[in-house]
Amino acid sequence: MEIKLEDKIEVSESLTDAEPDESTKPAVPKPSICKRCSVRVIFNKSNGIQIKEGFDQQYKLLEESPEAFNLISDDTLSTLAPDLRSRPDNTCYLCAGILQNSTIRTLMNKCKVLLSEYECVGSVGVTFSNIDLLNVRSFLCGVGGIKLQIKTIFKWLMAEELSQFLGCPKVVQNASKADDQDLMVNIEVRLDNDEFMWMCRPPLEWDVFNFSQGKFKSARLEDALARAKYEDIKAYLKLPGRAVQFSISVLANTTFVGGRYTKMARNMSQTPWLKQDGLLIAGNIEDILCKPLQKAFRADEARMHSAGREDIDVRMLGTGRPFYVQLTNVRKFPTEAMLDELQVVINKQSAHVKCYKLTPVTKSETELVKQGQEEKQKEYRCIIKAENEVTDEMISNLNSVENLDLEQKTPLRVLHRRSPLTRTKRIIKVKARALTREEVEVSCKHDMKLTESLNKRLVVAEVTSEAGTYIKEFVHGDFNRTVPNVGTIMGNRCDMLQLDVVNLSMVWPPERDGTKEDVAEDK
């Protein structure tokens, strides 16, 4: 929409109240408004200014012919005190100076101080709180409803300059709902100024506030304004003696790093463990993975989440277990290159735990890990000890298992921390064979007495099961709390000697262009 010369009007005249009886109405001042509010009023019905490009175009046209409008100059506000304690006389009475360059500059300087400790920011967003009162004020000043709200323009101005300061390529317009923003800057209009509160609130007798929804009823407000007399609204044409006050806070969005890990030790827990004497057991996967990430990205806290967990005496082999680390309030945001370097450092520091495919992930993507914990198939390798000699028929019976449903009561070993329920789980298939005497001898470290005792009683089985199946209990039966079990299938009581997780069938981290190819070696 272009501004034509014949269409130019005095903005101040369009913003003053008009009473039918001119003889009884006192002289109405002609307050000025800033250039940005002028665009909001003049082009109120234009859909073009609802987007940033359209607004910028009209604002530029307005700047090129300011003599046609009763506008205040933003340049005269350069002497405004940095703390915004005093209000200059030439303050826009529609936005209370919020959209004027002096306010934007002052707030930007304060934001830059707060943002100076953050590095490698990928995206930034701006929220503006408690500004709805000024939108209501446009009604009270006789302008009526303005489509383009103050906070929309304010966020356009602040977000663009903040992104340039931080050197980040992405500006999140709807910062309060964005999933993958790095930083959110919240600028809040402080409501401790009673005078400011008063100048923005309609009279209580108008009954235009919906307390259940926490907002004003626009239709009822317009109706009340149509019936209002000049004396009812003239007080709103003035501004408070002090400038509008603000508070600024910067919040780093929770950052997530995804990957997979393997564990080669049979005496290491996934999370910190306390012994009976209250002392912490040395070494756990969470500390090995989280502490380097927390230190590197200067986070307040780091917590690991994984797709299930293995027992302290179970190894995690194959391509590893999917996991992600939740980093709270980081000061340095992770990039692919940083995580590649950090992965090498972590893997050198630990002989038993290795991590792979470290990559930044979003909050919504982390839901895949939770789903995989409950829905995906898992593959195990078990060393089973039978009470009696194992025959070919027993092995054949075990290998015939396919899509076998189990009824599993909560195992006794976890009953202290799990609900006493009966769960139905499925064994997809079993592939088993008896160990040869040579394999038994090696397993017994050439102890001939032990070898003779265990010969023809050891079985290695590869079990594919539904996620959430208690494999140890499937083997030994847990005093018949899991039925059927390997013992009932073979007709030979069994116990578990060793257990390894060899595969979790889920895609993690999410595949993208240039997905990392490094995976763990199956040992």
Q: Which residues are annotated as catalytic?
A: 311
**Count of alpha carbons within 13 Å of 283, Cβ hemisphere only?**
12
**Count of alpha carbons within 13 Å of 294, Cβ hemisphere only?**
14
The torsion angle over the Cα atoms of residues 5, 11, 15 and 16, rounded to 10 degrees, is -100
Alpha helices (runs of H) in 43-100, residue ranges in sequence order: 52-64
Instruction: Give residue 227's Cα distance to chain centre.
Output: 48
Q: Are 298 and 332 in contact (CB under 8 A)?
A: yes
Burial class (CB in 10 A: 0-12, 13-18, 19+), 39: buried
149 φ/ψ angles, rounded to the nearest 5 degrees: -80, 155
Q: Minimal CA–CA distance to 62: which of 82, 36, 87, 44?
A: 36
End-to-end CA distance of the chain: 70
Instruction: Check whether the bond before 510 is cis (ω within 30° of 0).
Output: no
Helix (H) or strand (E) holding 497: strand 494-504
Q: Are 34 and 65 in contact (CB under 8 A)?
A: no
Q: Are 136 and 197 in contact (CB under 8 A)?
A: no
Q: How far apart are CA 131 and CA 209, in angstroms?
A: 16
Q: Are 125 and 166 in contact (CB under 8 A)?
A: no
